[in-house]
Structure formats: C-alpha cells, structure tokens
Amino acid sequence: MKKALPPTYFLLVLVLVALLHFAFPLYRYWTFPMTLMGIVPLGLGVALNLIADRAFKLHETTVKPFEQSTSLVTDFPFSLSRNPMYLGLSLMLLGVALLLGTASALGPVLVFPYLMHRIFIRTEEQMLAAKFGPAWERYRSTVRRWI
C-alpha cells in the first residue's frame, strides 16, 4: 500500500482548518482588514515551495519522500532551511488560518509540522545521512531543520 505524500496531509489539514473555523469559530482574534495579513505567510509559503521544487529539478533529484536522492541540494532555499518545502506548506496553512482569523483555525496548523517531522523528515534525514555521509553531516550541522 502506498503512503500518503505531504500534499495529501496538507490538504487534509487545510480542510480541517476550514471545518474548525466554520463549525467552531472560537475566539475571533482578528477581523477584516487585519486578516489580510495572512496573505504574507501564504505568499511566502507558495514562493518557497516553487523555488525549492525548481532547485530539485535543477539538481535532477527527486522531490518525493522516501525515494533515493541523487544529489544533496544545499543552495537556496536549502541554505536557509533543510526542509523548505515543509516550511512552505506550514506557512501556507498559517496564512489561511490568519485569513480566517479564528483561534480554532490555528490548532491544526500547529500540528502539521509535527506530523511532517514524525512521518517524513526523520526517515528522509536518515536516508540522506546514509547516502551522502560526511557531506550530509556538514550540511546538517550548518543549516537548521526548519528556520
């Protein structure tokens, strides 16, 4: 059986964010036009994912978790975060939650990075360590996992 990929988790959490906002709109911390500040993390998240995806393509390596990488990508945006795509997805979820403006929408956003770490990042980092050895260790010691 195939494992669900990060975009599936992203979509599930996005639906949960919307459901909680509309079904249980706990504590409205912002109203329009303040909610428009959510556009900033949403836009940053989209840009980060597009740039990271392009970097994978330029290095001709896989973007799919659990597939063997052919190259250790360390240039931008991987020079800022070892996981810019997961960071980008998290920022997009944060942006949507801020646009909605209720505390109930924020809960699932906080769980998403934890899920990515438990389900994907730990295994991916073990695979990179096995494949790239000292180069991975140097990279890991100089670039933070998230930001």
Closest CA to 10 of 141, 115, 139: 115
Question: In Å, how far are 20, 61, 130 from 50, measured between CA atoms?
Answer: 28, 15, 27
pLDDT of residue 55: 96
For the segment 106-119, the average pLDDT, to the nearest whole number, is 94
Q: What pLDDT, in 10s, does the model give residues 74-102?
A: 999 999 999 999 999 999 999 999 999 98
Between 70 and 29, whose confidence is greater?
Answer: 70
pLDDT of residue 66: 87
Helix %, strand %, coil % of the chain (to 5): 70, 0, 30
For the CA atoms of 62, 82, 65, 75, the dihedral, rounded to the nearest 10 degrees, stands at 0
CA of residue 100 relative to chain centroid, distance: 19
Beta-bridged to residue 28, according to DSSP, are 102
